[in-house]
Amino acid sequence: MRAAAAIALMLAGCGQGGEPRGGPSENQMARLSTPAKQEVDPEAAARIAPLGPEDLAMLGPTSCAFGRGGRILLAVTPSDAVARVAGTLRHFVHSGPVGPTGGFFEDRHISISVGRTGEIPAGEGAAGSWPGRITITNRRADAQVRLDGAWRCGT
């Protein structure tokens, strides 16, 4: 008889429905499995930042540079180019000639195009400072940033 009573109690306990004690509810599970929406800056992967004095010191004398608001964003030597893109200091190779009209630079993920935005006056030398535009493209992230500023060479 005791055995029959024990079996009856076990069967009564097994048939109960509901949620297990201590586990998350369906509402809690839905909130945990759905991440909060985060705003993503589509240009972040191609955003260029000013170079610091330590960046320019390690590069040495520059032949050309692009700047904006008194800050240098791209520094170019005859064999190297340096810019801080997406928070990382990057070195770029020249992918075309560099001079008063502009230049093209790239690494594995980023390409930079910079140049004058106006005509080159007749008889103007290779040294000077002119209004210019820089375009930074992150090919991997499909992001692009364009900025106006000043392109200078030989000064």
| pLDDT tens profile 77-99 | 999 999 999 999 999 999 999 99
Query: Model confidence at 154, in pLDDT bands (50, 70, 90)?
Result: confident
122 has a pLDDT exceeding 80: no
Query: Model confidence at 60, in pLDDT bands (50, 70, 90)?
Result: confident
Query: Model confidence at 105, in pLDDT bands (50, 70, 90)?
Result: very high
62 has a pLDDT exceeding 60: yes
Residue 91 contacts residue 85 (beta carbons within 8 Å)? no
Residue 72 contacts residue 48 (beta carbons within 8 Å)? no
Residue 82 contacts residue 74 (beta carbons within 8 Å)? yes
121 has a pLDDT exceeding 70: no
pLDDT of residue 126: 63
Task: Return the closest-CA partner of residue 103 out of 78, 121, 122.
Answer: 78
Query: Model confidence at 14, in pLDDT bands (50, 70, 90)?
Result: low
34 has a pLDDT exceeding 70: no
Length of the chain: 155
Query: Model confidence at 59, in pLDDT bands (50, 70, 90)?
Result: confident
50 has a pLDDT exceeding 70: yes
pTM of the shown model: 0.70
Q: How far apart are CA 141 and CA 33, in angstroms?
A: 26
Sequence-distant (≥ 6) Cβ neighbours of residue 39 within 8 angstroms: none
How large a percentage of the chain has pLDDT more than 70?
Answer: 74
pLDDT of residue 23: 74
